[in-house]
Structure 1
Amino acid sequence: MGELLSDPRNLAVFIQLLSAIFSLIYYDKYKKVPVLKLFPFLLWYILFNEVLGFCIRQYISDHNAIIYNVYYGINFTYLLILYRRYLTNKKSKHLVLGFLILYLLAYVLEGFFKNYIKEFQTTAYIIASLCLIITIILYFVEILNSNKILAIKKNLLFWISVGLLIYYAGYTPYRIIRNIYTELDKSSAIIAVMITLTVIMNTCYIIGFIWSQKKEQY
């Protein structure tokens, strides 16, 4: 573990570990909330995936794309299902369902043109992240137009949404540009931005776990 954290890029692992731990400490608050109760499993899976990816890259092979491609599929599918569950506007719910179908189709189709074992998905990732950003904005609009705004800081899904929006709004442009300028993968500035976004996102999660209340989870 010491060697893992000695790499500045893996500072993200530490904050992800804290976030996963806090998700269990405060699990009693939302353990009966549909779909949202699965969020800690996602956080622990993300942490495991990061450690596994590091170990593969460090000790086995330079090609660890497959575990991240599987993770992308699970992550985006879960998040879109989560928001569809708690959006109340029927048009928004139908739109998010369309987003989910679009992403899954892109995920499968891109697999025919890329070697998912060695290459990270790009088009499917960009589609999913843009769809997720739009979905979160729809959720915020509903929050602003409801009485939930009065207890916003006690709402766990709100804090999760803030973290996700900051992360994907900051990271998605990089993923788009990286398709053109592949040398960006090795840019220390880009790596620093990725770490910063990850820290901010997981800090939002932790705040949500601490401040949220049982009756104000979504």
Structure 2
Amino acid sequence: MFEFLRSYIIYLALLSGSIGLISMHKLPGKKAKFLVILIWFSVLIEFIGYYFTYWTGLLNYYVYNFYMFVSFSAFILLLRSLLLKINYRMTAVFFLVLFVISFILNSIYFKEDTNRSFTYSFAIGVVLVLILSCLYLVEIFNSDKILNFKRSVFFWYVLGILVFHVPFTPFMLAINWFLIKQDESVFSLVLFILNFLAHGCYITGFLWSEKKYNY
């Protein structure tokens, strides 16, 4: 019944990406502008993923596995740039190396089942990003930034990442381990709702943030 919702995810990304472009005057540095690039990259991936099977005859797992690798690497690098403490930044570098290694190992040992293989890499990426996000939030709440953290586009972007990935991971693992039966209608509904919440956070950040808090 809800299978059609999956095709509307690209419009959510287009909306938040367009608002990001309109809000570029409030995004002074490369780090802030990088958020808009990531959103438009997701638009490109959604477009390619939608037509990939039609163009090549192959399943579009290849597209989304590539996107997963790039996006999690980008998330980790973004969080590293936001962290202030040296040991936290070093932890982010270690996590990036760990994620890349896990991706390679999963690709090698589960190469006959790309869907299950990259599910584990996805779960590892979520855990690593969750830890770094907690460190980022701890730094905010232990500094003067707590007074205006809602005016930072970075806070809302990190929140959007967590809002999507944290709930989606156990749902995806449950399907992968056959704890629940995969229903395309339910899967599309969950995917759309989480994307709606995530892009809602991105849009809030672009509209509500102020330039002086976006460096």
Whole-angstrom CA distance in 2 between matches of 1:185 and 1:46: 24
Q: Which amino acid aligns with 1:70?
A: F
Alignment of 1:113 onto 2:109: yes
1:65–1:116 contact (8 Å) kept in structure 2: no
- CA-based RMSD of the aligned residues comes to 2.1
1:65–1:117 contact (8 Å) kept in structure 2: no
Q: Quick one: higher RCO (CA 8 Å, sep 6+), 1 or 2?
A: 2
1:31-70 alignment to 2 at 5 Å? 32-58=28-54, 60-61=56-57, 63-70=59-66
Q: 1:79 aligns with which of 58, 61, 75?
A: 75
The TM-score normalised by the length of structure 2 is 0.90
1:66–1:117 contact (8 Å) kept in structure 2: no
Whole-angstrom CA distance in 2 between matches of 1:91 and 1:118: 35
Moved more, 131-140 or 173-182: 173-182
The TM-score normalised by the length of structure 1 is 0.89
Whole-angstrom CA distance in 2 between matches of 1:158 and 1:100: 21
Whole-angstrom CA distance in 1 between matches of 2:181 and 2:57: 21
Alignment of 1:145 onto 2:166: no
Count of aligned pairs between the two proteins: 212
Name the residue aligned to 1:88: 84
Whole-angstrom CA distance in 2 between matches of 1:89 and 1:34: 21
Q: 1:127 aligns with which of 124, 143, 161?
A: 124
Whole-angstrom CA distance in 2 between matches of 1:148 and 1:94: 22
Q: Deviations over 1:153-203 (max 9, x none)?
A: 210000111111111111111122222118744343333122111000001
Q: Write 1 or 2 for the structure with the bigger share of helix.
A: 2
Name the residue aligned to 2:197: 200
List runs of 5+ in structure 1 lacking aligned partners: 1-5
Alignment of 1:212 onto 2:194: no
| Aligned CA distance change for structure 1 residues 97 and 70 (closer, same or farther; 3 Å) | same
Whole-angstrom CA distance in 1 between matches of 2:34 and 2:182: 32
Between the two proteins, what is the percent identity of the paired residues? 27
